[in-house]
Amino acid sequence: MKNPIRQIRNSLSLRLGLWVLFFAAIIFVISIGVLYFKSREYVRQDAMRRASQELNNTVLRVMSYLNEVEIATINAEWLVRTHLQPDSIESYSHRVIAQNPKFNGCSIAFEPYYFPEKGKYFSSYSFREDGVVKTEQEGSEEYRYFDMDWYVRPKMANKPCWVDPFFDYDVENPTAEDMITSYGRPLLDNNGQCIGVISTDLSIKWLSQTIMEKMPSERSFCIMIGSQGSYFIHPDTTKLVSQTIFTDTDPDRDADIIALGDDMVKGKEGVRQIDYKGENCYVFYRQLTQTGWSLALIYPESEIFRGYNRLLYVVLAIVIIGLLLLLFFCHKIVHNAIAPVNHLAGQARHIASGHFDDRIPRSKRIDAVGQLQNSFGAMQESISGYINDIQRMNAEIEQRNQELTVANQKAQEALEKKTAFMQDLTHQVRTPLNIIIGFSQVLRMGHQEIPDEEMETIMDAMQENTKNIRGIIDKLLVAALFENKESVKRDSNVPCNAVCRQVLGETRSKNPGAVTLHFTTSVPDDFTIFSNKNVLVKVLQQMLDNANQFTKQGTITLDCRPSSPETVSFIVTDTGIGIDEADAERVFEQFTKLDYYSEGLGLGLTLCRYSAEGMGGTFTLDTTYKEGARFVLTLPIA
């Protein structure tokens, strides 16, 4: 009589017959899985439909609030135009706030000296404080309301418009409490000329709270962004206005968020699935047509399936208990038969994924599975040795190739830069030197016969070209000094306006009438900074020379203004050929010229930046200006 245990150990087909019971469990699990995914899809579609409807309702609510502001402003405008009397203006702005408790404030402002008896500023501003409507006259040299966005934009557009949210109260320490948006309408006289602006404010905090009160779930929330992507409504109030939806995004990691931001900025509507803070979320977005802003409802997927998952947990518990009971009875039979095969399959997958060094243990079994395992182990050991040798050689070759590529690239770049610099330097020096040599030969051949007027012209030309050669050498010497990061000695109080006028006058004398030169200032004539006058004059002269060189027509403006309580900025703006944004930093590299045929060695902007840093300041290119080029020199006052 055959030993049944030995027969089972030697017969793989007999052991595989026991898999039938296991297959029954597999079919059961697949059936439950199909039911799970189908029902999950139905729940998801229903939740998305409800979320989309909630977004539409929210957009309608926001638009109704905006309509209330517009209607109230239109009514007030009609009253102002009908009874244009200074004494009545305060009552009109007071009435707008008194009759509309949702509004934050109302300003009825006029152009400077429109009412001569009221002086330069006349603006009635009404607001609500502690439940009481108050009215006051706003406008002073500290608060020039006709320079504010809520006044300028409607006036310049000559039509009603919404102004992007801003901090109108404490701009030095803004909080979400102070953030408002304004709807402004220009006040026109009978000739169609703008005489003022009526503006009604709406609190962004109140609008955000009103929107958040009706969210489809506890963890869902809304955001609102402007036409440039800036946050106007967000649960994190520190991001308002100061950050955009594109801030700190990585094109590879946050491609879905960038695509969402592009759609919202372009005014599109729809739904997207994104990864928000490591959680899968659905975003429903739509534009507010009145303002150009876009509103989005962010709905975490876990919130959509929260109720469904609770029911699923109960079902899974029942299924798990049933499978455990089934496995309990099948375990003794199936485990011994299938465990070696499963182990060998797992080892094979592990090796196929690249772990060639892991050894497969030898089997003491004498059946086909044992023979297969031992043969596979011997084959794996041989393959592992070959793979390790190949990988080691490939790694060494790759490392050497990379080192050679980097070294060759650096050598080529250095050679090209050196060649271009030497050619440029030769050209820049040879041209004025030829002029000097030519004139010197003329003088040597017979200067007594040359008229005095022509002699003076020749001497001026020789002196000017000598000055050019000396300037080139000086730039090379200064560049060599600044390579050592030496600081500039600040040794005197420098009058800003006087220095600006001096440099502007020298520039005007070099190229009179070619372009129009302007000087504007926001500081008094006795305003000084503690710096190095000579270095400051050279930097400003270089800024104006660059603007003059690349501006064939139009204007060049030198502007002096305080940029903060501790710094002052010197800004040179031209209407020349401008600088592409891709070259915004490259122009500050040594010996770099965007136009090879232009004058200079490519050192001017580099020395300007070195000099600015040496004086404790900065020198930058304003890439937001597109009508030409604008360079900003910012220095500390003290």
By C-alpha distance, which of 300, 294, 296 is closest to 278?
300
Please report, rounded to a whole number, the percentage of residues in the chain having pLDDT higher than 90: 24
Pick the residue with more confidence: 332 or 434?
434
DSSP string, 164-196: EEEE-S-SSS--GGGEEEEEEEEEE-TTS-EEE
Higher per-residue pLDDT: 390 or 1: 390
Query: Do 49 and 278 contact (CB within 8 A), yes or no?
Result: no
pLDDT, mean of residues 246-267: 89
Q: pLDDT (tens digit, 9 = 90+) per residue, 450-483?
A: 676 777 777 767 776 676 666 566 555 455 545 5
Q: How far is residue 89's CA from residue 100's CA, in Å, rounded to a whole number?
A: 17
The C-alpha atoms of residue 531 and residue 130 are separated, in whole angstroms, by: 50
pLDDT at 74: 92
pLDDT score at 477: 47
Average pLDDT over residues 578-602: 74
Residue 481's pLDDT is: 47
Residue with tokens 């790694």, as numbered in its chain? 395
CA-to-CA distance for 150 and 163, rounded, in angstroms? 6
Instruction: State residue 308's pLDDT score.
Output: 64
How confident is the model over 66-96, as pLDDT tens digits?
999 999 999 999 988 888 888 889 899 999 9
- The mean predicted confidence, pLDDT, of the chain is 80
Q: How large is the average pLDDT for residues 594-599?
A: 59
pLDDT tens by residue, 212-225: 887 877 888 899 99
Residue 337 in this model has a pLDDT that exceeds 60? no
- Is the pLDDT assigned to residue 597 strictly greater than 80? no
Alpha-carbon span 540 to 538, nearest angstrom:
6
Q: Indicate the pLDDT class of residue 551, thresholds 50, 70 and 90.
A: confident
Residue count (the chain): 638
The least confident of 173-177, 446-450, 499-503 is 173-177
Q: What is the reported pLDDT for 344? A: 65
Point out the least confidently predicted range of 300-304, 463-467, 500-504.
463-467
Q: Contact at 8 Å (CB) between 398 and 373?
A: no
Fold of 492-636: Heat Shock Protein 90 (3.30.565)
Q: What is the pLDDT of residue 110?
A: 93
Structure-token pair, residue 7: 């027969």
Give me the residue label for tokens 């000739």: 191
| Higher-scoring residue by pLDDT: 373, 476 | 373
Q: What is the pLDDT of residues 225-238, one digit of tens each?
A: 988 888 888 888 88
Q: Rank 197-201, 345-349, 509-513 by mean pLDDT and report only the highest.
A: 197-201
Q: Identify which of 44-48, 346-350, 619-623 has the greatest average pLDDT.
A: 619-623
Q: Which of 325-329, 529-533, 560-564 is predicted least confidently? A: 325-329
The top-level CATH class assigned to 215-304 is: alpha beta
Higher-scoring residue by pLDDT: 183, 471: 183
- Decide if pLDDT at 379 tops 80: no
Q: Which of residues 195 and 169 earns the better pLDDT score?
A: 195
Task: Count Cα atoms within 13 angstroms, Cβ side, for 40.
Answer: 14
116-138: per-residue pLDDT in tens?
888 899 999 999 888 899 999 98
- 181-195, 279-293, 396-410: range with lowest mean pLDDT: 396-410
Range picked from 344-348, 362-366, 579-583 for highest mean pLDDT: 579-583
**pLDDT tens-digit map of 356-367:** 666 667 667 676
Q: What is the mean pLDDT of residues 607-621?
A: 90
CA distance 22 to 477: 85
Domain boundaries, the chain: 215-304, 492-636
Burial 116-126 (b: 16+ CB within 10 A, else e): eeeeebbbbbb
Q: Where does residue 228 rank: exposed (0-12), middle (13-18), buried (19+ CB within 10 A)?
A: exposed
- The pair phi, psi for residue 68, each rounded to 5°, is -60, -40
Average pLDDT, integer, range 617-637: 93
Verdict on whether the full-model pTM lies above 0.75: no
Residue 523 in this model has a pLDDT that exceeds 90: yes
Q: Could you give the 3-state DSSP secondary structure of residue 266?
A: coil
